[in-house]
Structure 1
Amino acid sequence: MTTRALPSSPPASQGVDASGVHAFLDALDADPAIEPHSLMIMRHGRLVASGWWAPYTAERPHLLYSLSKSFTATAAGLAAAEGLLRLDDPVLSYFPELDADVTDPRSRAMLVRHVASMASGHDAETLDRARALDRDNLVRGFLRLPPDRDPGTVFAYNQPTTYTLAAIVQRVTGQSLTDYLRPRLFDPLGIGEAAWQRDRSGRELGFSGLHATTDAALRLGLLYLQGGVWEGERLLPEAWVAEATRTQIATASGPLTGSDWGQGYGLQFWMSRHGYRGDGAYGQFCLVLPEQDAVIATTAATVEMQKVLDLVWEHLLPAFRPGPLSGAEQADAALAERLAGLALPPAAGKPAPPERTEDWSAVVLTPDDSSPARLRGETSVEVAAGADGALLTLVEDGHRLELRLPRDGWSVAEEPVPTAVSGGWTDAGTLEAEVVFLETPHRLAVTCSLPERTFTAHWRTEPLTPLPLRAMGAPRRSA
C-alpha cells in the first residue's frame, strides 16, 4: 500500500464533468474485448475519480508490462542527475569487458541516448535473436547483433534496448532498480510495495516485469506533469523531464501511422495524439495530459489498446472543462457510488452439480489434446465436489493450486499466489471455472469434462512470459 493518500476532491470542483467519466465507464462495460481492472484520474493535483473492478483492489500490485520502461527511464534520469551516466556516452563504455566481442562499428557507435529512445539502428525487435546469441548475458547478445542502420536514424520497438539501459543503471549504481529507486522515487512519491522480475543473470528486466499499484503509475505521471517536482522538492531534473517527454525518434511508419503509436517516441515514453504516456501490454496506461493538467492511469486486460485510448479521447478528454462546475453535487456523488461498486461479472454456472454430486466427488482429469493452450509440464486437474460447491485443484509438475469455487461471486485466495475464482456446473458433465491471477492482467479459463475425464485450459490473454502458475504474481510471491 502507499504510505500516504493523494489529495482528493469532487470532480466538479476541478472542472471534471462526471457525465464524461460515466460515458467512459459505459463504453468499457459495453465492449466485450476490454476487461477493465482499474481507473484513476487526477486533475489540478487532486484525485477526482478512482475505482477498481472487483476482485481487483487498490492495494494489490499489478504487472505493468512495458509501463515498467517509464520507471526505468526515471531511474536513468536520476543516475544522470548524480553524474553516474550521460546520454551521449557510448553504450560500450559502460561494458568494457565486452570490448573485444563487439566489433561492428554501428554497435560500437551506439549511445545511451539511442537505447533510451529505441533508436539503436535495428529495424525490428531483437529479443529472440539477442538471446540466441547469448542466453546468459542479454547485453552481450544485443551488442553483438549488428544494427541494420546507423543508430539514431530508425525506430524499432526493441526490448534489449531498454534492458541495456537498465543494465547500465544497475551497473553504475551498484544496486537493483527497485533498491535504487526506493529512496529517490518510491518513498518520496509515497509509493509502497513494488517488485521487479529478474532474468537468469539476476538483473531486473527494466523493459517489463514491474509489479506496482495503479496509484504508483498515477504518481509517476504526476511527477512528470509537474516537471520533476513533488511537494515542492525537485526529484528529477527539469531538463530530463523535457528530454524524456519530447519526440526523440519518429514512429509514423507502416501500421503505426495515424495511431497513438505513430506520434513519436521519447525516452521510454510514447507521444500521444494528446500529451504523452507510458504504456504496457494489455492496457496498462499512464496518460499525462499537460494541456488539461491531468493524469489518467488504468490497468486492464485487452488486446484492443488503441480502442481504450480512443475511448479516453472520446469521453474523458471533453470532460475536462476550463473551470469548476456548479450544481454538480448529485452527479459527483452518483459517480463516486458507481466507482465504489465496480466489479467484473463472475463466470456462469450452478454451485452444485445438477444431478449426482457423488459422481464428481473425487475426479482426476488429464489434459485434452485439443486444449487451446497447454499448461507447463505434467498437468492434471482434481475435482472434489460437494453440496456447497467444489474444490478445483490444478496440478502442475507436482505443484498444487487449490481453488475453492464459491456459491456466487468470486472466491479470493492468497497462497501460493493471489487468485480469484468463479464458475460452476453448466451441465451434469461439465464444470467451468475462471481463474484470475490478481497481480497480473491474466485469467485462465478451465473446462472439466466428466464423461471424457479430461480438461481444457486457455488464457483469455496470453502471458508474454510463460511462467508456472505458482509464479503468476509479483516476485515476492513466487520466490
Structure 2
Amino acid sequence: MVKGIASGVGCSLVPSRLLATAPDPEGDGLSRASPQAAEVDPRAVLDFIDSTFANDLDLHSFMLYRKGNVVAEGWSWPYASHRPHMMHSLTKSVTATGVGLAMDEGYFSLDDSVLDFFPGEQPARLTANLKAMTVKDLLTMQSGHTVSVSGSVFRQIKTSWIDEFFKIPVTDQPGTHFLYSSALSFLLSAIVTRTTKETLRQYLESRLFKPLGITSLTWGSSPNGINSGGNGLTWKTVDSLKLGILHLNGGSWNGKQLISRRWVEEATRTQVSDAQYGYHWWQENAVNAFYAEGAFGQFSIVFPRHDAVLALTAGVQDGEALLKLVWDQFPGAFKGLSSDYRARTEDALAGRIENLRLLPEARATASPTAQEISGRTFVIEPNQDHVSQVSFNFSDGCMTFHQSDHRGDHTVHVGIGNWIESTTGITGNKLHHQYQSENMKVVASGHWWDENTFEMTWQFVESAWVDRLICRFYGDQLSIDRTTNANYASRVQPTLRGKAEKG
C-alpha cells in the first residue's frame, strides 16, 4: 500500500490540554486533564521539548501522566498515537513483570539454580560458578559473565539461543559484579516458558496485556520460539505509559492487583547499588525515580513521590543525553506552577506541540538526469551487503526505488515534492542493530541537490531509524552512500558502486 502525505501538515503532538477534562477521549482507558489541573508547570514541559530539538535529539513522542490523568502528550510527525514503536531494552522491564507474576504463582523462586530449568541443554563441563548462578543473578545482571551479549548478536544466530547462553564463560562468582547483558533477559524468558509451558507473550496476555488494554504488540522470538526477553517488543507509547502507571500504583490497575505489591517494591528498588539497578529496572536515586530504558531513547519513567509517569520514544544515538534533559525539568515540573504562570504559558505549550515535526517540508526539484536514468537497471559491483542491482523509476510526484540482494527484491516509494508512506522489506539490518522485517512502514521523500545528485530520506516510522541515501550519477556510473541516525555498530554503509546496463 502506498499513501501520500501532505508535506505541509504537521499532524504532530495533539495536546491533551485542548481536550479539557475527559474520561477517555482516545479510547485507551486513560482519562485526560490539563497540566494546570494536575499542578504541572507547562513551562517546564515546553522547556523539555525545546531542549530536545536544540540538542538535535529526535523526540518521536511523549506522554505525561500525573494524579490519575494524562496531562500532556504528543507525536512528532510523521509519528502518531496509533503507530507502534520498537522498544528495544525497555522490553526487559516487561520481562521482569512476567518473572514476578510467575513467582507470585509459585512456578519458581529467586534462589532457584538456573541449571535446574535446563537439564537437557547443560554443557558437558559444569563449573562451580555456573552451578551457583540463580534467577536473582539474572534479574540483577550479576551472572558472573565478563562478556556482555547484545540482542544484535543473538538475532544473527539461527540455532538454539539457550545453547548459546551456556557457551558464555562464567568467569566470576555470580552475584558479585554488574554486567548488563541481553542474554540474561532471554534466559529469564526461557525460564518462564519452561515452567509455565507458555511463551512469555502468551503468559502475559491474560495477566497483563488484556487488563491494561494492550492489544497491538509484537514480540520477536528465538529460532525455538522463545520470546527474546531483552528486546524485540514493539508496542505503542501509551503501553509504555501504562507499564509505568502499573508500577507507580504498586501493581494495581483499576482496583485489581495484577502483580503483587511486594514484587513491584523489590523490582523497582536498588538491588545493585553501584549500578542503581533493581530487577530489570533502573533507578535515579537523586530524584527518587525508577525507569525502564530501551536503546535509542525509549523510556518509561516513574516518579513515585510525585504520582507521575513520563513515557518517551525517540531516535537518538545516546539515550543518556535525552535522559539528562528529562532530569533537567523533571520532577521540577511537579513542584507547582511557576510564579509567572499565565494562561498564555499553557497556550505556548499547545502551540509548540501542535507544530512539532521531524521531517522538513518536501522539496519539489527536477533534473534532466531523472529522465535519462528512469527505468534503467544499474548492476552493482560485488559488496559486503550483497546488493546486486538497483533501479530508479520516476513518475509524477513519485520515484520508486528497486533493490535486489541476497534476500530478494525490495522497493521503497519515494515522494518528489511530497512525502509518501509505504511498506517495505528493504535490507538494512546492519544499520538497524541487526533488526530486519519484511513489513516496515516507511515515509520517504527525495530531491535533487544538483543535476547529478539525488538524496532520499527514509523515516521508518515504527522504529528509531531514519536513513539518508545520497545517489550520484556520472554518465552510466552510479554511487550510493547510505547512513542512519542511530546504531551501536557502524552508521555508514560502505559505498555501493554500479554501472547501467546497456540497452
TM-score, structure 2 length as denominator?
0.82
1:313 aligns with 2:322: no
Residue matched to 1:430 = 453
Residue matched to 1:223 = 246
Residue matched to 1:412 = 421
Q: Distance in 1 between matches of 2:236 and 2:162?
A: 29
SS across alignment from 1:96:
coil
1:36 aligns with 2:49: no
What's the CA shift for 1:129? 13
Q: Identify the match of residue 395 of structure 1 among 393, 404, 410.
A: 404
Residue matched to 1:24 = 48
Structure 2 counterpart of 1:291, one-letter code? R
Residue matched to 1:354 = 367
Q: Which runs of 5+ in 2 are unaligned?
A: 1-25, 425-438, 492-503
What's the CA shift for 1:144? 4.4
Residue matched to 1:158 = 181
Q: Identify the match of residue 312 of structure 2 among 274, 298, 321.
A: 298
On the 8 A contact 1:366/1:454 being kept in 2, the answer is no
Q: Distance in 2 between matches of 1:338 and 1:186?
A: 33
Q: How does 1:326-475 map to 2 (within 5 A)?
A: 328-346=342-360, 350-355=363-368, 357-366=370-379, 376-397=385-406, 399-414=408-423, 416-451=439-474, 452-462=477-487
SS across alignment from 1:411:
strand
Q: Could you report, residue by residue, the CA deviation over 1:211-259 in whole angstroms, capped at 9, with x for unpaired residues?
A: 11111111001100110001111001011101111111233xxxxxxxx
Residue matched to 1:58 = 81
What's the CA shift for 1:420? 0.7
Q: Which runs of 5+ in 1 are unaligned?
A: 252-261, 467-479
On the 8 A contact 1:49/1:336 being kept in 2, the answer is no
1:208 aligns with 2:231: yes
SS across alignment from 1:450:
strand
Q: Distance in 2 between matches of 1:218 and 1:266?
A: 19
Q: Distance in 2 between matches of 1:25 and 1:322?
A: 19
Q: Could you report, residue by residue, the CA deviation over 1:409-456 in whole angstroms, capped at 9, with x for unpaired residues?
A: 531114543111122111111111111222211122112112132322
On the 8 A contact 2:412/2:423 being kept in 1, the answer is no
Q: Distance in 1 between matches of 2:338 and 2:214?
A: 29
Q: Distance in 1 between matches of 2:249 and 2:153?
A: 38
Q: Identify the match of residue 286 of structure 1 among 280, 296, 300.
A: 300
What's the CA shift for 1:408? 3.6
Q: Distance in 1 between matches of 2:490 and 2:125?
A: 28
What's the CA shift for 1:317? 2.6
SS across alignment from 2:225:
coil
1:265 aligns with 2:258: no
Q: Distance in 1 between matches of 2:420 and 2:460?
A: 12
Residue matched to 1:174 = 197
1:117 aligns with 2:140: yes
What's the CA shift for 1:394? 3.3
SS across alignment from 2:401:
strand
Seen in structure 2, the aligned counterparts of structure 1 residues 438 and 445 have a Cα distance that, compared at 3 Å, is same
Seen in structure 2, the aligned counterparts of structure 1 residues 190 and 429 have a Cα distance that, compared at 3 Å, is same
Q: Could you report, residue by residue, the CA deviation over 1:286-335 in whole angstroms, capped at 9, with x for unpaired residues?
A: 11111222111111111222211111111233211247999754433442
Seen in structure 2, the aligned counterparts of structure 1 residues 327 and 455 have a Cα distance that, compared at 3 Å, is closer
Q: Distance in 2 between matches of 1:328 and 1:58?
A: 29
Q: Identify the match of residue 124 of structure 2 among 101, 104, 108.
A: 101
SS across alignment from 2:331:
helix
Seen in structure 2, the aligned counterparts of structure 1 residues 118 and 398 have a Cα distance that, compared at 3 Å, is closer
What's the CA shift for 1:187? 1.0
Residue matched to 1:473 = none
On the 8 A contact 2:296/2:319 being kept in 1, the answer is yes
Residue matched to 1:92 = 115
Q: Identify the match of residue 241 of structure 1 among 264, 280, 291.
A: 264
Seen in structure 2, the aligned counterparts of structure 1 residues 334 and 215 have a Cα distance that, compared at 3 Å, is same
Comparing 389-398 with 71-80, which one deviates more in the overlay?
389-398
Comparing 386-395 with 433-442, which one deviates more in the overlay?
386-395
On the 8 A contact 1:62/1:213 being kept in 2, the answer is yes
On the 8 A contact 1:101/1:144 being kept in 2, the answer is no
Q: Identify the match of residue 67 of structure 1 among 78, 90, 95.
A: 90
Q: Distance in 2 between matches of 1:129 and 1:58?
A: 27
SS across alignment from 1:425:
strand
Aligned pairs, how many? 447
Seen in structure 2, the aligned counterparts of structure 1 residues 233 and 455 have a Cα distance that, compared at 3 Å, is same
Q: Distance in 2 between matches of 1:167 and 1:101?
A: 20
**What RMSD, in angstroms, separates the aligned Cα atoms of the two structures?**
2.8
What's the CA shift for 1:99? 4.7
Structure 1 counterpart of 2:377, one-letter code? V
Q: Distance in 2 between matches of 1:396 and 1:57?
A: 32
Residue matched to 1:5 = 29
Identity across aligned pairs (percent)?
Answer: 31
On the 8 A contact 1:16/1:324 being kept in 2, the answer is no
Q: Distance in 1 between matches of 2:302 and 2:490?
A: 28
Q: Could you report, residue by residue, the CA deviation over 1:124-147 in whole angstroms, capped at 9, with x for unpaired residues?
A: 314699979x96333333234342
On the 8 A contact 1:366/1:455 being kept in 2, the answer is no
On the 8 A contact 1:104/1:146 being kept in 2, the answer is no
On the 8 A contact 1:284/1:300 being kept in 2, the answer is yes
What's the CA shift for 1:355? 3.6
Q: Distance in 2 between matches of 1:105 and 1:98?
A: 17
Seen in structure 2, the aligned counterparts of structure 1 residues 185 and 199 have a Cα distance that, compared at 3 Å, is same
SS across alignment from 1:266:
coil
